[in-house]
Amino acid sequence: MDELDDGAQLRCPADGILMRDIDGGWECPECGHVIAPVVKIVMPPAFRGPTVHGG
Ligand SMILES: [Zn+2]
């Protein structure tokens, strides 16, 4: 798939400044407000063994 669009950039809820993406979230370069999304995609450990029988 393609990357994130520029239009998906968040804006600071305090002053509306375009936030910059940091490690694990976004930070406002103006006031230092940080938004850290708590959405974590956890993949369940799918345990599927090979059920192929020879013959
Ligand atoms: Zn701000």
Tens digits of residue pLDDT in 5-35: 555 678 999 999 999 999 888 999 999 999 8
Residue 22 CA to ligand 1 center (angstroms) comes to: 14
Residue 53 CA to ligand 1 center (angstroms) comes to: 61
Residue 32 CA to ligand 1 center (angstroms) comes to: 6
pTM: 0.53
| Nearest one of 37, 30, 35 to 16, comparing CA atoms | 30
Q: What is the dihedral of CA 43, 36, 23, 40, to 10 degrees?
A: 0
Contact of 12 with 33, CB cutoff 8 Å? yes
Residue 20: the pLDDT is: 93
Q: How far apart are CA 25 and CA 8, in angstroms?
A: 13
